[in-house]
């Protein structure tokens, strides 16, 4: 089993607790897990048109599960900042916006932005809404967070005295992709950001990477005369990704792609032909 560890982790100590069918508490011994850094992979492929002719000069980029995180150094802050128009000091790709970090057990930088303490972050991407209807989002955060979905502020929290605050908000969404933005700030307290959502089916779920997509604009390339492209330093920790393509007014997107163990070993994956339809 493979899972994503917090940024800059070298070793994790884990322990499992449970209950038997007889109602007895069971606890395992501690186990130390070594963390392997996510190596950068090279993604290659070729873009052709409907007549099987190479498309040169097309812009090609990685569209990945998760959210793009932009970090801002703002000095001492005690409230949610408005970050519109600001240029970030750092950026990274988060596989999930969920951060539980009591007593900072995951370190001082769980977002992997290299900013601590007193920083703000803007997380952006798209939420894949499975069906139209009313959705309720629950947000737990410290020091503070604001969730904006489809341009509407749904819920906002600001923690008090190093304690997380919980709040909910409702919004009506159409099926398909909806832009999502999370503004967040942290001070010297224990960082926390947990978001869940409930849709028309009544089932509460965490806001996980499989429901989130982002254009990773710094992972891009341009096709050559043969329509070939090469994108380097693609993180192997991605849960899944697609190839976004734009050539003039025409755009396309590949099917979802997942890394295999062999790809990680060879540090290369060839996605093959991608057809750019008119």
Closest CA relative to residue 184, chosen from 66, 64, 69, 65: 69
Residue 1 pLDDT level (bands cut at 50, 70, 90): very low
**Structural domain count, the chain:** 2
Q: Do 175 and 268 belong together in one domain?
A: no
**pLDDT tens digits, residue range 47-67?**
999 899 999 999 999 999 889
Q: Do 207 and 168 belong together in one domain?
A: yes
Q: 5 pLDDT exceeds 70?
A: no
* pTM as predicted: 0.80
Residue 11 lies in a domain: no
Residue 235 lies in a domain: yes
- Please give the Cα distance from 234 to 220 (Å, whole number): 10
Q: Do 91 and 172 belong together in one domain?
A: yes
Query: How confident is the model at residue 8, as a pLDDT?
Result: 57
Count CB neighbours of 265 within 10 A: 10
- Please give the Cα distance from 123 to 107 (Å, whole number): 20
Average confidence score pLDDT of the chain? 83
Which CATH number covers residue 258?
2.60.40.1120
Q: Do 95 and 174 belong together in one domain?
A: yes
- Please give the Cα distance from 26 to 17 (Å, whole number): 6
Residue 10 lies in a domain: no
Q: Which domain holds residue 77?
A: 67-213
- Please give the Cα distance from 62 to 51 (Å, whole number): 25
Query: How confident is the model at residue 59, as a pLDDT?
Result: 94
Query: How confident is the model at residue 147, as a pLDDT?
Result: 95
Residue 30 pLDDT level (bands cut at 50, 70, 90): confident
Residue 127 lies in a domain: yes
Q: Do 110 and 205 belong together in one domain?
A: yes
**pLDDT tens digits, residue range 117-143?**
678 889 999 999 999 999 999 998 877
- Please give the Cα distance from 108 to 126 (Å, whole number): 27
Residue 136 lies in a domain: yes
């Amino acid at each position: 089993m493979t899972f994503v560890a917090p940024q800059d982790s070298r070793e994790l100590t884990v322990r499992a607790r449970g209950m038997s069918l007889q109602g007895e508490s069971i606890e395992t011994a501690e186990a130390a897990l070594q963390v392997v850094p996510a190596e950068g992979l090279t993604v290659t492929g070729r873009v052709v048109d409907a007549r099987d002719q190479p498309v040169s000069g097309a812009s090609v980029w990685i569209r990945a599960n998760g959210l793009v995180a932009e970090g801002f150094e703002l000095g001492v802050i005690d409230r949610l900042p408005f970050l519109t128009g600001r240029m970030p000091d750092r950026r990274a790709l988060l596989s999930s916006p969920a951060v539980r970090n009591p007593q900072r057990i995951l370190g001082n930088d769980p977002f992997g932005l290299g900013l601590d303490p007193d920083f703000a972050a803007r997380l952006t991407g798209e939420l894949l809404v499975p069906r139209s209807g009313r959705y309720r989002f629950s947000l737990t955060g410290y020091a503070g967070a604001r969730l904006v979905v489809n341009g509407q502020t749904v819920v906002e929290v600001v923690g008090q005295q190093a304690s997380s605050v919980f709040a909910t908000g409702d919004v009506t969404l159409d099926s398909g992709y909806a832009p999502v933005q999370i503004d967040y700030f942290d001070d010297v307290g224990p960082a926390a950001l947990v978001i869940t959502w409930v849709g028309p089916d009544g089932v509460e779920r965490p806001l996980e990477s499989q429901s989130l997509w982002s254009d990773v604009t710094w992972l891009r390339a341009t096709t050559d005369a043969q329509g070939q492209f090469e994108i380097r330093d693609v993180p192997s920790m991605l849960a899944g990704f697609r190839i976004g393509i734009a050539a003039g007014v025409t755009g396309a997107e590949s099917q979802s792609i997942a890394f295999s163990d062999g790809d990680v070993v060879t540090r290369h994956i060839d996605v093959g032909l991608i057809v750019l339809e008119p």
